[in-house]
């Protein structure tokens, strides 16, 4: 089978996009693992599948590089919005996009009819252990856990997908430590892990170990999770610049919702035989 694809990135978090509105792909997990292989495929942190929707302008289905399903991805949905607009699948602004975490609105910043930046209403976070999920009935807010024979002070929440935030100086951490936390016994379905350093009340730095993908150059939902946690703990204002290895984005935390603003860029497009 020959597939048309587009490779796109948001702050270095890279994705393959497939238009699946005609239901060509049946096994999302298998196809994703093949496409995301950086040696034998196209290479990417995940695959975004464009689907029809009766509830929104379109639907985004996302699978991580290891073939696991993800309900939501912040960088991914910005890239997805650029794709469906520039491919003239959805020519409205804002675009409503159905995800596994509900319907999201994407507000497009256009220049010469090209999408330069996208603002996403990410919805509201949840610290409820059942929603994340966590073991037990206690919220993980500034809680000590042990993973890989090391203690960490963490805060865990659902920001579309499960996230755990570890505060501290980034120079003192090895991003690969995220693997121990991701699969630790506290998180029955695993967790994304964000190491976050507060520079001042308007600026934070974040490195993310993504569940199912490993170390990434950027994570949109992870950046939002860090902004929510630092705001909740009184360390930052409600609007912060988040610096990730792939660049910078803005996150605004309001009482009922979180907004993320950032860029997205097309890398290349083509066809692949699978």
- Residue ranges of the annotated binding site are 13, 64, 74-75, 192, 210-211, 220-221
Residue 219 designated active-site = yes
Q: Please confirm whether the linkage preceding 247 is cis (ω < 30° from 0).
A: no
Residues in the chain: 274
Closest CA to 188 of 231, 136, 236: 136
Which among 36, 58, 79, 219 is annotated as catalytic? 219
Tokens linked to 50: 């464009």
3-state helix, strand, coil in the chain (%, to 5): 15, 45, 40
- Binding site for substrate, by residue number, is 13, 64, 74-75, 192, 210-211, 220-221
Give the N- to C-terminal CA distance of the chain in Å, as an integer: 6
Hey, which residues does 160 pair with through a beta bridge?
A: none
Measure the CA–CA gap between 71 and 246, rounded to whole angstroms: 23
Burial group, residue 15, by CB count within 10 angstroms (0-12, 13-18, 19+): buried
Residue 73 designated active-site = yes
Backbone angles phi, psi at 135, to 5 degrees: -75, 135
Tokens linked to 86: 């520039």
3-state secondary structure 147-181: ECCEEEEEEEEEECEEEEEEECCHHHCCHHHHHHH
User: Which positions are catalytic?
Assistant: 73, 219
């Amino acid at each position: 089978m020959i597939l048309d694809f587009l490779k796109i990135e948001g702050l270095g978090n890279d994705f393959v996009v497939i238009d699946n509105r005609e239901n060509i792909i049946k096994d999302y997990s298998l196809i994703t693992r093949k496409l995301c292989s950086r040696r034998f495929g196209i290479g990417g942190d995940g695959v975004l599948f464009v689907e029809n929707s009766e509830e929104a302008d379109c639907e985004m289905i996302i699978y991580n590089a290891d073939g696991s399903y993800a309900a939501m991805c912040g960088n991914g949905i910005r890239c997805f919005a650029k794709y469906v607009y520039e491919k003239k699948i959805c020519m409205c602004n804002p675009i409503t996009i159905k995800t596994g975490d509900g319907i999201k609105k994407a507000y497009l910043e256009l220049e010469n009819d090209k999408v330069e930046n996208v603002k996403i209403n990410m919805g509201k976070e949840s610290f409820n252990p059942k929603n994340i999920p966590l073991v037990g009935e206690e919220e993980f807010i500034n809680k000590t856990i042990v993973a890989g024979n090391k203690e960490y002070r963490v805060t865990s929440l659902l920001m579309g997908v499960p996230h755990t935030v570890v505060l501290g100086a980034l120079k003192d951490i090895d991003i690969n430590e995220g693997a121990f936390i991701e699969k630790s016994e506290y998180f029955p379905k695993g967790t994304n892990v964000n190491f976050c350093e507060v520079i001042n009340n308007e600026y934070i730095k974040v490195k993310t170990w993504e569940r199912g993908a490993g170390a990434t150059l950027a994570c949109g939902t992870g950046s939002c999770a860090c902004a929510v946690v630092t705001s909740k703990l009184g360390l930052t204002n409600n609007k912060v610049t988040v610096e990730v290895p792939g660049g910078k984005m803005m996150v605004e935390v309001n009482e009922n919702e979180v907004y993320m603003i950032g860029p997205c860029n097309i890398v290349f497009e083509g066809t692949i035989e699978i």
